Amino acid sequence: MNVKELIIMARQLGMMRPGILTDSIVRTLFSHVQLNEDSSGNSSSSTNSTGAAADEDEMNFDEFKEVLCAISFILNSNPWTPSHKKLQIFLDNIFTAASEILG
């Protein structure tokens, strides 16, 4: 999944919240899961031949799961809710939204 597809998914599943989860925040989350660690332990982003981050980069499944976790934490910022509950609530909500979209 590339960044454009992630934004479309977030919009269609009703995840976007003005000032909380926006296109720019989704792009930032996408770029953070795309970070690679080189052998010296320094983080660097994937780049294309011009040295700029490529919009065509795609997430693997582990990175996709990481983005979903990050989104669940952003949308449920209550510090007293355990992490696993935040993710469960989030997944329940997006599966409900997806079933409504699919009919």
pLDDT in tens, the chain (103 residues): 999 999 999 999 999 999 999 999 999 999 999 886 443 445 444 444 433 445 568 999 999 999 999 999 999 999 999 999 999 999 999 999 889 888 7
Q: What confidence score (pLDDT) does residue 44 get? A: 47
Report the number of distinct structural domains present in the chain.
Answer: 1
pTM of the model: 0.78
Range(s) of the domain holding residue 83: 3-102
Check: CB of residue 70 under 8 Å from CB of residue 34: no
Phi, psi of 59, rounded to the nearest 5 degrees: -85, 145
19: left (phi over 0), alpha (psi -120 to 50) or beta: left
Give 77's DSSP letter: -
